[in-house]
Structure 1
Amino acid sequence: MRLHRLDITAFGPFGASQSVDFDDLSAAGLFLLHGPTGAGKTSVLDAVCYALYGSVPGARQGGTGQGMTLRSDHAAVGTRTEVRLELTVAGRRLEVTRQPPWERPKLRGKGTTVDKAQTWLREYDATTRAWKDLSRSHQEIGEEITQLLGMSREQFCQVVLLPQGDFARFLRADAEARGKLLGRLFDTRRFAEVEKRLAERRRTTEARVREGDAALLADAHRMQQAAGDAMALPELAPGEPGLAEAVLEAAAVARGTARELLTVADCRLTAAESAQAAAERRLADARELDRLQRRFAQAREHAARLAERADAHRAAEERMERARKAEAVAPALELRDAADSEHRRAAAAEASARALLPPGLADAGAAGLAAAARRAAEELGGLESARRAERRLAELVEERAGLDRQERADDEVRQDAETWLADWETTRTGLQSRVDSAQEAAARAEQLALQREPARRRLDAARLRDRLTDDTEEARRRALAAAEDAVEARAHWLDLKEQRLHGIAAELAANLTDGAPCAVCGATEHPAPARKTAGHVDRDAEERALAGHQAADERRAKAERHLGTVREALAAATAEAGDAATDRLAEEAEELEGTYARARATASTLHAAQEELRRAEGEREQRVAAQQQAVVRSASRVAGRDRLEREQASLEEELARARDGAESVTARAAQLERQAALLTRAAETARVAEDTAQRLKDADARLADAAFRARFDTPADAAAALLDDTAHRELQRRLDAWQSEDAAVRAVLAEADTAEAARRPPADLAAAERAAADAGRRLREAASARDAAARCCAELDRLSAHATTSVRRLAPLREEHTRVARLASLAAGTSVDNERRMRLESYVLAARLEQVAAAATARLLRMSSGRYTLVHSDGRTGRGRSGLGLHVVDAWTGRERDTATLSGGETFFASLALALGLADVVTDEAGGVRLDTLFIDEGFGSLDDQTLDEVLDVLDALRERDRSVGIVSHVADLRRRVHAQLEVVKGRSGSVLRQRGAG
């Protein structure tokens, strides 16, 4: 991957558009990115990362979802944030353009709106020498860039943007912290997932084994219940070995005992069945004898009762005979009753109808009543024309009322219009005055709006100036105290170093042994080795003093940088606010805001005043038109009112004749309708009464003749002899029942076996029933005991078979659990077979760390003049796990020590070598993507001149692989040594970039 060009607009500290020509900078192979603290050196690297991945490194992540954090505070309101990067990767020249979300002012109206994030990807076609669009999808572009680079954003930030501070911490970190970083870079989550899956499978299989054992114990408990607590359960818990064998053994013993009990129960049941059969036979004989004896006694009693009812039976036979004769007279009786009922109803109806007639017609015959009804109907027919005239008269009255209502409405319209139009000039003048006032206020508000922002900025700057004045004095005091502490710490360190140099012979002598050569002179004899004196300073004391000196110096530099920053901010705030007092500026700003608010409030009524004036003018036009239309309608109603009056007079005269004294024609018609109906009904009821009287006379004659032929003295006797259906059926039933009972009694008394049983002694039924009940109870007890024994055997057989199947099914599961548990313990580092207690993921990372240490050593040897070598260690630290140790071998002493013992400068070039080695290994891991452009961020200030030259030689050697390296630093000495430079210059309106090539 090689960078060609970077264009930045409104990004980070860069308010305006800035460009970086990486081709020009990379021509020398080594270039410097420098500038004061806070100018924006790291923001250039952030822009590269944002262009590729849509987010910035580390804690500065904003991403496309937080684009507002990427936008420069110095950018103009109408300028959108944009980053464009041109690069070559995998032989393809691409251009990536990204615009984060942008909160901008609305094009219409007030307020702001947010434009969505935009992303473009283009590729240069060498054949046509033109750029062609590939995609505008954020997701597609991200996947394409990640696939071409072969690494994630985190990996890119570690292998291309080399953060020295992270690797210094990596050198001093423990195994867990190193594991986290290496895990992110080499993506060993799959191995951690294997550990997790194995642990889950171990828990799953263990739970399944315990569940199977619990089910087996449950079967054993059920077998114990079925065997009546005669079975002893094994005292083992689920999961313990031998549980299955113990359960099967106890089940076999319980099954043998149950089968013996079943054989005994079968014998008892056979004997009880024989005894019960004999008792049942004796009971049946006793019941039959008792039945025959009771049957004969009941027949004798029944025969005596029939003899007592013989007279009643003969009287019933005679009553039935008279009823049969009276049935011949029944039709004549029914006919006479029907004729009598009909005649009474007709006479009542006639009397009711005549009661409603006028006195002159109450005694008239049927013919006279019918004639009067016809005359009333004819008169009713002649009123139809009068009805139409009456309806027309009602319509004329309604029409005249409508004309009157219209006349009143038009009068109101004319009066309302005249009243409103009289005040029109005053209303129009007032509304026009409101419009003019609002327009003047709008112009005044625009003028005041231009004055608000400068006044507010001056006020904010004055407040910041007041606050920074106090902060500057405090920062100066802290910087002075930090400088004094740094001087004292340096003096203390130099003193201890000088003391240690004086006593270095004693340190060397402490390592001498008889017969071993001296590390200084090579002699094997040591006659007078130096001894440590009181107050001897060892190496640890010197290094602690050095660390204290370095920490104090860092605090001094930090305090001085903070003081410079505060002073710069104070100068900028003073230039913006001037010498004016903050209180006076606040009063002026508040007064300006109040005046502006009042002008805005007045101007906001302009639209409403204009709308109200337009509505008033429209209403005036409507009222003038309505007034004119009302006058025209009043003139047209005069002729119509005269016509209606003439027609109404003619109709009233006609209706007076037709009403004949009634209130209306309708009332007169109703009278005639009621009269015709009453007369018609009365004539009809009179004819019906005459007909029914004649039919009653004929029915009486036929009834007398029928009674004589049936040999009854009078029709009343015949009617008394009749029986209704219910009485007839009841009498016949009594006669039939008596005959049936008499025949049944005679039959029973004639039976031979019944008579024979009556001659025998009475049967003892209660004793036979008691004997049969006892035999049945003993049989049920024996059958219940036999069924219980059979169920016990069947249940034990079923549960034993189920337990055997469970044991067979659990066997492979137990084997699987044992195998998985061993694998999980081995992968988790807790198994006794894993001597170093190294987890699977740690094992993989250890291999990667060994590669990184080997790659870093090749550069570290040159940077340290052959003194230091990085080695990987898989030894255990304390009680922890092993696999991720990192040591440094000092060729001067021949000892291997922890990387945390390196000094500040040594830590820097060791971490730089480690970063470059890690970049090589991650690049190979990512698929061998060629990285032609690298950036190294800070850390050079801790090197002396000789070490700095050696480090630069190593970086310069990267050009042998056609790489270019950008150094991000504010160390002044690097500006002399590195000629190709990209300078970041900060100012009030934002930072700018100045580029200088190698020439």
Structure 2
Amino acid sequence: MHLHRMTLQAVGPFPGRHTIDFAALSASGLFLLEGPTGSGKSTVIDALVFALYGKVASADASEDRMRSDHAAPGDDTFVDLVFETGSGIYRVLRTPRYERPKQRGTGTTTQQATIKLWRLTSPDAPDDGDLLSTRLDEAGLELAHAIGLDREQFVQTVVLPQGEFASFLRAKPEDRRRVLERVFGTEVYERLEKRLAAMRAEAGRGLDAARGEVGRAVAGFVAAARCADDDAAALREAAAGAEVDVPALTAAVEAVAGAAAAEAVAAEAVAARAAERCAVTERARDAARTTVVAVERRDTLLAERARLAARGAEHADDARRLAVAGRARLAMPAVAGVAQAETAFGEATTAVARRRAAVLAGAHADLAALVPAEAEADVQLKALADERERCTGIRARLDHALELEATLPTLRVAVADLEARVERRAAERDALVDGLAQRPHERAALRERRDALGAAAGGLAEAQVALRAVEDRRAAAALVAELEPRVGTAEAAAGVAARAASEALEHAAALRQARIAGIAAELAVELAPGAPCPVCGGTEHPHPAAPSAEAVTPEVVHAAEEACAVADEVLAAAGRVLTELRTKRDGARASADGWDLPAADAAVADARRAVEEAQAAARDRDAVDAELEAFDAGTRALEQQRAELDTVVGKDGVALAGRRKEIRDAETAIEAARESSDTVRARAALLDARVELVGAWLTEAQRLVTAEERLAERRVELAAALSEHGFDDAAAVRAAALDEAALAALDRRIREHDSALDRVERGLADDAVRAVGDVTADAARASSAEAEATHAAADEAATRAAGEAARLRDRASSAEREAAEVSRAGRALVAAREAAGPVVRMANVVAASGGDNARQLSLGTYVLARRFEDVVAAANGRLAAMSSGRYELLRSEEKERGGARKLGLALKVVDHHTERERDPATLSGGETFYFALSLALGLADVVTAEAGGTDLGTLFVDEGFGSLDGDTLDVVLAELGRLRDAGRVVGVVSHVDAMKQSIAERIEVRRAADGRSTLTVRA
């Protein structure tokens, strides 16, 4: 894997945007990442790891540190990385999750994490590629496949943890395990050991619970089976203890349950025999009871038959009376019909007589002569009918005259209203004619006013053009007034910048001259015994120059040169600003054409007044045009209204003549129709009363004829009914008749007697009554009492036997149920033992607490030892080169000092100069560094091999170089150079000044007083 380029913005202490060109830094295969402690060197590595994995390098650090606290609210935080693996060239652009101010309102909103992943055709064409994914999960899988390492492996191999190994070499024996756990990331095995221990404890609790269930099940069985004390004690003892013999316990419980079941079966047989005996006595008791009932019923029926026989004569008389009343009931309708007809005939005769008397006393007495009292009924009926028909005809001919008489007042009012309307509309027409005669003069005045306003509004366009011209000149004059003071300020600033640039140039030249004067002392600082002088080439340096207290360092000269460059940039910027302001001012002055701001304001005011006056005239002209149009429309409306009034007045005159003729015709018809009456209505009322009187008399006369005919018919019907039913006259029928209640009571009494007699005879003929023969009631009761006593004794015995059987059956059922519960609990205990066995054994092996782990090594320790052994083997090759073959590391299986048991994590240092073994704690600081570096490089080799041989083209080596002497530093750098020769690029992270002299390509990180950092790449 090779890094090409990384750009970061608003990350950690870096608020700005910085780009690191790893391709340029990698030209020599070795570059330096340097800067003061806390300036942000580790942030560069965090940005690299974040771009690839979405997390920072340290597992304990939060991604919240990615967002710079110094970033502006609108600046985005991102890392843009271009890298290359065997799978291709990739570009990943990733942003973290952070809080940013809301675009609207107050407060913050969450900016979610994002990613974009491209596959490129060239590292120099980042915008020419295929977008692979914009989803975090998909892009993560693509990156993992391309890199071949997870985050932990990447951090272990790209950022070499020689610092952790240095801690390991210096650590006390009891601390080495924790150091290696951090390096190798073996926490998963510790979690596995704890998980297995928890499972072992859980299995133990499960066994205890299963044993408790067995004990509770046995206790429940003892209570349910009501065991004897010895049996109960034996069962409880069998269920107690850690190792319960489940088969034996189950067999003992089943034996006790079987005995209880046998007792229940025997008791049920006894209960069955007792129940059968009880049933026999019950049948005998029921038979005795039946006999008593039959004897008592026989005696009751005989007494009832004697009572009915005593009422025989009375019953026969009731039957005879019922038969006569039945014949009278059939004849009664004819008797009632004659009575009703006689009543109706009398009422009709009376009504006709009253009507004749009333006619003679009323206004129509002449009717009595038309209908003589001595005339036959049919003659009277015809005379009355003829008179009603005559009067009805006359009354019908009066309807039209009545209608005319009713509408005549309305017609007269309508004629009066029509006369008034004709007069009013004629007056309106005359007024309209006078108004129309004046309108031509009024229209001429409006036309004259409109022409005058049109002439005034014609200059509006010219006035508007003049206004725009003076406004442009006024704006130019205002701009001149605004720019004049700014030009003066810019001229002053340019003068200050020119003086500052001159002073900075002179100061930098003086510093360069001073450094040249003291260069001998600067070179003398770097002289080493036996090394050639860079000036004369001599290897002896008897009198090297000493630097003075005022010696100028390269850094001071560099700072002065940078200050000079900054001053030049400020001067150039001030000149550009001054030139731009002068150009704007001169252009505005030419546009103002000599006007100052007050003169321009006065000209603008005059031009605006001219425009406003022309606009007002145009508005007034438009208003007069609208007024003229409305005036003409009003004239046309008035002429239309006059024409309509002429038409209406003519039509109303014709209608008025017609209504007057209609009134005259109605008055003539009414006069003819009323004859001698005051009004037609009065004559009509007189005729209506006569028709009503004749009609009522005719109705009553017809009713009298009908009543007489109906009376004759009813008398014929009565004679036939008397003959048919055997009665002499109507009085005999009335005497024999009974009302409905009496008739029903008599019939009910006869039927009740017959029914009772039939019931008695059928009861005496019943088989049960006949079967008792002559048995007396006392004898039957005595026999029944004896049967009751026998059955009571048998029932009591059956109840006792059934209760005992139920008790034993319940005990057997409970014992069987609880025995099944004991069996279930036993099976559960066996299953718990079988399930717990492997868990307990595995937990003991992993925790090194059982006999199966012969070496007494926990799983985590074993993995650490094996991994460490591989790392030591890989590290010895590096160590041999760095120590010129002097040192070698050996892993020891000996028990560490102060340890409770052998861990297999001890180390020995073999010094081949003396062929003796040393403790790593005796190593010097420089030796500890390159020992740790060897172990870190060995770890990188092991992890790379485990990841399938992933090619890591870039490595970072962290602090520790300050502890090396010059020779050892050269050796270590030479070893790092071999990494370069193998195709790797090594980035050395250090703040040691000597490293700057040894490594030209570097990334410089500097921190300002406010906590912000900047990054400069020198390649």
Bin the TM-score by the shorter chain: 0.5 to 0.7
Query: Residue 148 of structure 2 corresponds to which residue in structure 1?
Result: 150
Query: Residue 287 of structure 1 corresponds to which residue in structure 2?
Result: 289
- Comparing 638-647 with 94-103, greater Cα deviation is found at 638-647
Cα shift at 1:17: 5.2
Q: What is the alpha-carbon distance in structure 1 between the residues aligned to residue 984 and residue 1017 of structure 2?
A: 23
Query: Residue 4 of structure 2 corresponds to which residue in structure 1?
Result: 4
> 1:317 and 1:887, CA in 2 relative to 1: closer, same or farther beyond 3 A?
farther
Amino acid of the structure 2 residue aligned with 1:137: T
Cα shift at 1:294: 0.5
Amino acid of the structure 2 residue aligned with 1:949: D
Aligned counterpart for 1:843 among listed residues 842, 858, 862: 862
Query: Residue 672 of structure 1 corresponds to which residue in structure 2?
Result: none
Query: Residue 833 of structure 2 corresponds to which residue in structure 1?
Result: 814
Amino acid of the structure 2 residue aligned with 1:871: R
Q: What is the alpha-carbon distance in structure 2 between the residues aligned to residue 872 and residue 647 of structure 1?
A: 141
Counting only pairs closer than 5 Å after superposition, residues 387-536 of structure 1 correspond to structure 2 as none
**Would you say the 8 A contact 2:301–2:764 is kept in 1?**
yes
Aligned counterpart for 1:122 among listed residues 83, 94, 119: 119
Tell me the secondary structure at the aligned position of residue 939 of structure 2. helix
Counting only pairs closer than 5 Å after superposition, residues 312-331 of structure 1 correspond to structure 2 as 313-329=315-331
Q: What is the alpha-carbon distance in structure 1 between the residues aligned to residue 653 and residue 65 of structure 2?
A: 93
- Comparing 332-341 with 265-274, greater Cα deviation is found at 332-341
Query: Residue 48 of structure 1 corresponds to which residue in structure 2?
Result: 48
> 1:902 and 1:753, CA in 2 relative to 1: closer, same or farther beyond 3 A?
same
Q: What is the alpha-carbon distance in structure 2 between the residues aligned to residue 340 and residue 180 of structure 1?
A: 139
> 1:295 and 1:117, CA in 2 relative to 1: closer, same or farther beyond 3 A?
closer
Cα shift at 1:154: 3.3
- Comparing 273-282 with 738-747, greater Cα deviation is found at 273-282
Query: Residue 995 of structure 1 corresponds to which residue in structure 2?
Result: 1018
Tell me the secondary structure at the aligned position of residue 146 of structure 2. helix
Question: Residue 963 in 1 paired to residue 984 in 2?
Answer: yes
Q: What is the alpha-carbon distance in structure 1 between the residues aligned to residue 696 and residue 363 of structure 2?
A: 18
Question: Residue 738 in 1 paired to residue 746 in 2?
Answer: no
> 1:717 and 1:848, CA in 2 relative to 1: closer, same or farther beyond 3 A?
farther
Q: What is the alpha-carbon distance in structure 2 between the residues aligned to residue 690 and residue 105 of structure 1?
A: 116
Tell me the secondary structure at the aligned position of residue 761 of structure 1. helix
> 1:990 and 1:177, CA in 2 relative to 1: closer, same or farther beyond 3 A?
closer
Tell me the secondary structure at the aligned position of residue 756 of structure 1. coil
Tell me the secondary structure at the aligned position of residue 223 of structure 1. helix
Amino acid of the structure 1 residue aligned with 2:889: T
Aligned counterpart for 2:85 among listed residues 89, 98, 107: 89
**Would you say the 8 A contact 1:255–1:796 is kept in 2?**
yes
Offset from partner CA, 1:88-111 (integer Å, 9 cap, x none): 212523333445689999999999
Offset from partner CA, 1:922-949 (integer Å, 9 cap, x none): 2222222011210112232233434433
> 1:60 and 1:745, CA in 2 relative to 1: closer, same or farther beyond 3 A?
closer
Cα shift at 1:971: 0.7
> 1:244 and 1:9, CA in 2 relative to 1: closer, same or farther beyond 3 A?
closer
Offset from partner CA, 1:792-850 (integer Å, 9 cap, x none): 44554565466546645754553332233222332344434446654434433332233
Question: Residue 923 in 1 paired to residue 925 in 2?
Answer: no
> 1:125 and 1:239, CA in 2 relative to 1: closer, same or farther beyond 3 A?
farther
**Would you say the 8 A contact 2:67–2:96 is kept in 1?**
no
> 1:746 and 1:972, CA in 2 relative to 1: closer, same or farther beyond 3 A?
closer
Offset from partner CA, 1:519-571 (integer Å, 9 cap, x none): xxxxxxxxxxxxxxxxxxxxxxxxxxxxxxxxxxxxxxxxxxxxxxxxxxxxx
Counting only pairs closer than 5 Å after superposition, residues 872-951 of structure 1 correspond to structure 2 as 883=903, 885-887=905-907, 889=909, 891=911, 897=919, 905=926, 907-951=928-972
**Would you say the 8 A contact 1:4–1:22 is kept in 2?**
yes
> 1:224 and 1:953, CA in 2 relative to 1: closer, same or farther beyond 3 A?
same
Amino acid of the structure 1 residue aligned with 2:752: A
Larger Cα-atom Rg:
2
Q: What is the alpha-carbon distance in structure 2 between the residues aligned to residue 735 and residue 211 of structure 1?
A: 91
Cα shift at 1:685: 11
> 1:753 and 1:178, CA in 2 relative to 1: closer, same or farther beyond 3 A?
same
Amino acid of the structure 2 residue aligned with 1:90: G
Q: What is the alpha-carbon distance in structure 2 between the residues aligned to residue 879 and residue 712 of structure 1?
A: 152
Identity level (%) = 30
Question: Residue 721 in 1 paired to residue 741 in 2?
Answer: no
Counting only pairs closer than 5 Å after superposition, residues 531-680 of structure 1 correspond to structure 2 as 639=641
> 1:327 and 1:98, CA in 2 relative to 1: closer, same or farther beyond 3 A?
same
TM-score (norm 2): 0.58
**Would you say the 8 A contact 2:25–2:1002 is kept in 1?**
yes
Tell me the secondary structure at the aligned position of residue 57 of structure 1. coil
Q: What is the alpha-carbon distance in structure 2 between the residues aligned to residue 938 and residue 715 of structure 1?
A: 154
Amino acid of the structure 1 residue aligned with 2:798: L
Aligned counterpart for 1:869 among listed residues 854, 877, 889: 889
Question: Residue 954 in 1 paired to residue 947 in 2?
Answer: no
Tell me the secondary structure at the aligned position of residue 774 of structure 2. helix
> 1:123 and 1:777, CA in 2 relative to 1: closer, same or farther beyond 3 A?
same
> 1:941 and 1:256, CA in 2 relative to 1: closer, same or farther beyond 3 A?
same
Query: Residue 305 of structure 2 corresponds to which residue in structure 1?
Result: 303
Q: What is the alpha-carbon distance in structure 1 between the residues aligned to residue 164 and residue 694 of structure 2?
A: 128
Q: What is the alpha-carbon distance in structure 1 between the residues aligned to residue 29 and residue 192 of structure 2?
A: 44
Query: Residue 761 of structure 1 corresponds to which residue in structure 2?
Result: 779
Amino acid of the structure 1 residue aligned with 2:993: A
Question: Residue 776 in 1 paired to residue 795 in 2?
Answer: yes
Counting only pairs closer than 5 Å after superposition, residues 180-191 of structure 1 correspond to structure 2 as 180-182=181-183, 184=185, 189=188
Offset from partner CA, 1:72-128 (integer Å, 9 cap, x none): 6389x6x75554433221252333344568999999999999798452412227999
> 1:198 and 1:380, CA in 2 relative to 1: closer, same or farther beyond 3 A?
farther
Query: Residue 132 of structure 2 corresponds to which residue in structure 1?
Result: 135
Amino acid of the structure 1 residue aligned with 2:990: S
Query: Residue 175 of structure 2 corresponds to which residue in structure 1?
Result: 174
Cα shift at 1:3: 1.9
Q: How many residues align?
A: 745
**Would you say the 8 A contact 1:850–1:872 is kept in 2?**
no
Q: What is the alpha-carbon distance in structure 2 between the residues aligned to residue 943 and residue 897 of structure 1?
A: 20
Query: Residue 263 of structure 2 corresponds to which residue in structure 1?
Result: 261
Tell me the secondary structure at the aligned position of residue 234 of structure 1. helix
Amino acid of the structure 2 residue aligned with 1:846: A
> 1:90 and 1:35, CA in 2 relative to 1: closer, same or farther beyond 3 A?
same
**Would you say the 8 A contact 2:954–2:984 is kept in 1?**
yes
Offset from partner CA, 1:11-48 (integer Å, 9 cap, x none): 55556654434334333332222234555433433333
Counting only pairs closer than 5 Å after superposition, residues 377-392 of structure 1 correspond to structure 2 as none
Q: What is the alpha-carbon distance in structure 1 between the residues aligned to residue 84 and residue 999 of structure 2?
A: 25
Q: What is the alpha-carbon distance in structure 1 between the residues aligned to residue 312 and residue 881 of structure 2?
A: 152
Amino acid of the structure 1 residue aligned with 2:175: D
TM-score (norm 1): 0.59
Offset from partner CA, 1:198-233 (integer Å, 9 cap, x none): 567656766665665555555544533442354614
Amino acid of the structure 2 residue aligned with 1:45: I
**Would you say the 8 A contact 1:20–1:995 is kept in 2?**
no
Tell me the secondary structure at the aligned position of residue 25 of structure 2. helix
- Comparing 913-922 with 851-860, greater Cα deviation is found at 851-860
Question: Residue 241 in 1 paired to residue 243 in 2?
Answer: yes
Cα shift at 1:967: 0.6
**Would you say the 8 A contact 1:872–1:886 is kept in 2?**
yes
Tell me the secondary structure at the aligned position of residue 56 of structure 1. coil
Offset from partner CA, 1:943-985 (integer Å, 9 cap, x none): 3434433432332332342222111112111122223333345
Q: Which runs of 5+ in 1 are unaligned?
A: 347-358, 398-435, 452-571, 577-616, 661-676
Query: Residue 853 of structure 1 corresponds to which residue in structure 2?
Result: 872
